[in-house]
A and B are shown apart, each in its own frame.
Chain A
Amino acid sequence: MTNRRQLFEARQRRRANTIAAASTAAVVLAIIVLVPLAPGWAAVQKSFFNGAIFARTFPGLLEAFLLDIAIFAWCAPLIAALGLAVALMRDLRAPALYPLRLAAILYTDIFRGLPVILVIYLIGFGIPGLGLPRPWNSPYIWGSLALILVYAAYVAEVIRSGIESVHESQRNAALSLGLSPGDAMRFVVLPQAIRRVVPANMNLFIALQKDVALLSFIGPVEIFRQAGVYKALLANFTPYVGAALIFLAITIPATRYADYLMNRQARARS
């Protein structure tokens, strides 16, 4: 049974949808029609959207992207582990363990405050420069370590915010039930804390997925560097567009998934 108000609202909705569709179509049309009218469009198209070069370089880019995935795959679990450890260190309350806590605070302050690329250069060239023998001077090892150190600092802060979001009374209740402080953290606080920060951590891992490309600065030929090689040889930026598409194919679904998790969490809390 629809009353007049529902009819009115349905009409309003229809009207809003029509206007939204029309204005979107107008903007898209304007872009499609107007951009090619720009005097430099032919040159831009040739340099950035060159079909022949795209077809020629895309398979090589895909192959290079496997290296990105590999680096991501071995960094992500280590980041999660180190991040959790640092977050727990920051939560230590025994006065005797204060040095550990101080170390954790210093660590997060330093590695969150430095540009990723600087850390990669310092660790990736610096530590092997001390004279390590092969294969221990590999840029893969030390570059990955740099990524892990930087991202674990962010993850630690996110997890710490999760831990602090669990009300103190729960910890007290667990202790009064006879759980040790360690068990209280493990069975009461952490399960809730980690669940709450999953969406925030998802965002960090999406960012990591892109920053893996920074490892190319110290030698590994992953997708970004491979695109750069093609660019230099062909004097054309199209390979970068190809690389961007490959990145988007991963990051957009991942971002949507993080959004979905966040929405679900917001609904669960309200």
Chain B
Amino acid sequence: MKTLCTTALLVALAGAATAQNDCAAGKTLSDGVLTVATGNPAYYPWVMDDAPASKQGFEAAVAYAVANEMGFADDQVTWVRTSFDQSIQPGAKNFDVNLQQFSITPEREEVVDFSLPYYSSAMAVLTTQKVVEAGATADVASLKGLIWGADANTTAVPMLTDLIGPDRDPLLYGDNVDVTAAMQAGQIDAALFDLPTALYLSAVVVEGGVLLGQFPADRSENPDQFGMLMEDGNPLKECVDAAITALTESGRLAEIEAEWLQDATSVPVIE
């Protein structure tokens, strides 16, 4: 009787483990598995220690929460790595969803699909103590006079033009590391990043790094919202959207955000 019970229990568990909700069934790359992509490497605080399967870090946690909501157990989530270029290249993708701080823009949406936003980011001005001592302040007039840098692959580039409109052309770089290297070399005064990345860079990477100010996430023009990227026309989109809506309504998404992304109300708002 005991063995029978155990067997029944096991069968039930196995059944539960493979049962996605009806929405996602048969729409993933491989049946019963959600393939999630992240950057290579994936950065703090989005993924801790470049190990997304540990569920540590904001995007790692969001990926598992969305997967669970869609009916995938934790062990039914696999991770792959893609660069930005790989994620937008034409042809078959090697992931179901890709999350690495992709900002949703109408132009990008013509080539790929985005889920509903899972995070709205403030943009923050990263600079160094030296520049602040030289008289830079958190208002647009002062910011215009600085020499700016940005990661060329991000929406920070048009935002720099729209929000600040620097006097001199900004210098652009291939990734965060190069931007911070140029800042340490004194070639740029300041750089624009999403707030969590800027917090990390100022605290850990840039020697004497300072967050001069932020453009809040709920600004009306040019909001920077992160969405999960999918192949154009992916039928999975509605399931992902439903999961994100459910997580937003239940407050779970806000909980994850509070857990992994530090509160940044201390950073002054730039008018």
Show the binding face of A for B, using Cβ within 8 Å: 40, 43-44, 46-48, 125, 128-129, 131-134, 137-139, 216-221, 225, 228-229, 231-237
B149: A residues at CB distance < 8 A: 219
- A130 and B177 CA atoms in complex are apart in Å by 18
**Minimal beta-carbon separation of A225 from chain B (angstroms):** 5
- A220 and B169 CA atoms in complex are apart in Å by 9
A selection of 30 A-B contacts at a CB cut-off of 8 Å is A43-B91, A43-B232, A46-B90, A46-B111, A47-B111, A128-B186, A129-B184, A129-B186, A137-B185, A138-B187, A139-B182, A139-B187, A217-B174, A219-B149, A219-B172, A219-B173, A221-B171, A228-B152, A228-B153, A228-B172, A232-B84, A232-B152, A232-B154, A234-B108, A235-B88, A235-B112, A236-B88, A236-B107, A236-B111, A237-B85
- A55 and B88 CA atoms in complex are apart in Å by 20
Q: Are B105 and A221 in contact (CB under 8 A)?
A: no
Among A47, A125, A219, A234, point to the contact of B89 (Cβ < 8 A). Answer: A47
Interface residues of B in 9-65 (CB under 8 A from A): none
Interface string of B77-112 (1 = CB under 8 A from A): 000000011001111000000000000010110111
Q: A128-B186, A132-B186, A235-B110 are in contact. Are A229 and B172 (CB under 8 A)?
A: yes
**Minimal beta-carbon separation of A50 from chain B (angstroms):** 9
Among A125, A132, A232, point to the contact of B181 (Cβ < 8 A). Answer: A125
**Minimal beta-carbon separation of A19 from chain B (angstroms):** 37
- A234 and B155 CA atoms in complex are apart in Å by 10
**Minimal beta-carbon separation of A222 from chain B (angstroms):** 10
Nearest chain-B residue to A44 (Cβ)?
Answer: B90
Q: Are A40 and B171 in contact (CB under 8 A)?
A: no
- A137 and B169 CA atoms in complex are apart in Å by 17
